[in-house]
Structure 1
């Protein structure tokens, strides 16, 4: 069992933004979802775990090794797919993976060839191995990103906003791949898409404005909201009045009418009907609490 322990991690930038504010959490084997709006601090946390930047204070250990003191300790076991993944033009997938394998320290030519073949097959790119990666579709390029992350048999995989911009079919294919990988190693999925976390992750954390808002099991969070989420459809012009009276967590506009969800431990009356809570309700409730 692999374990990452993060304790009181803090990071501020020169412009005064506190990207991480006393973050503490523990992550073990399996799919771990890191959920939060854009600018919440997710990418900063990912880069810090990956050893690409140092925090102002706090500690990160991987299997009891202090990886902030020895950044190579985690890089030896890490596969990383950043939010922006660039590729060289006019280089085939096989050649680029071979080059990246050399950079990862896989010096034996036979082992390198076998690993490249294996990750191409695992990401369903073997038939396109001779094509230039810059000609790949968005989904194929993201799968290539996972292929390069798998080189070296890492024990930690970090993926930052991996399905943004993918069509539903490619997104589903990519998520199935992540789920399969997460059976044996730590996979940290950083995203603002609630559905990806709901479908893939057994544990999750919500970060907002650099602070840890919630951490635990998605299903446990949903169960905690049981009986406390209510909805009704209103005229969109009536929203200010409802906002004054009720704790509105989300709104959806449809054909000029507004469906609102409110959080209330008891029946709020006024035409609201109970609805079964889902992870999106939890997400918006947690962000509201953090304001």
Structure 2
């Protein structure tokens, strides 16, 4: 094949590759716009008047107004600051409780030898098949007997400190199984007890799994509506998801502008938390062991 023919063939291949890239990029952009449109519409609607929200389906408002943010923040007898504080406290305590309890339980299942370990691990995995709606009634009866209703930290935080989130236990168990046991044996030879192995070997290497647990715990708790609605009855104890529901009263009247404005603000903590730890989240999901 002559040199000009080779050059033409290379040019055709480059053009085909470029066209293929352009098509894939266009498809990705179209999908991204489709996914982000509802979020963009909510943000745009927070700057529209209530009348325009019902009539204008475009993202951009025709008449820009930021009054909904002030009105929404002070719509109730309790400022929205209180709701954000309640959600932050509950979410952060849940993160700590889930991370600590699930890590300890996962270490026991992944590294320690005890009677009927496989049976108890199977029981733990089996709890993943139980919907939360099935468990809420017996849980409510137990917590009501203990006098924990209307005490927001007890029914929402204490169960998390008992490693009741089987998903996170399973996640950490799978991660720990990828850590070479040679490290445990080396630490044992150096005089470490099982507690020392956990503290000096497993805990530092489990950071990606801990961050993954922390991110999902924070997001799920921050967005939780049903569980918090069941156990929280006082306005001062309400969290952000329950407070957003207050913008629609029993008569069906709603303050859509204020509700959208507060919804936008409620997304910021989750977004910032995810952005801060996204690299470690991907590492925690993808890591199957140690490389090097």
Tell me which interval the TM-score lies in, with the shorter structure as reference length: under 0.3
User: Could you say which structure has the higher helix fraction?
Assistant: 2
User: Could you say which structure has the higher strand fraction?
Assistant: 1
Give the TM-score, by structure 2 length.
0.25
Q: Which has the higher contact order (CA 8 A, sep 6+)?
A: 2
Give the TM-score, by structure 1 length.
0.26
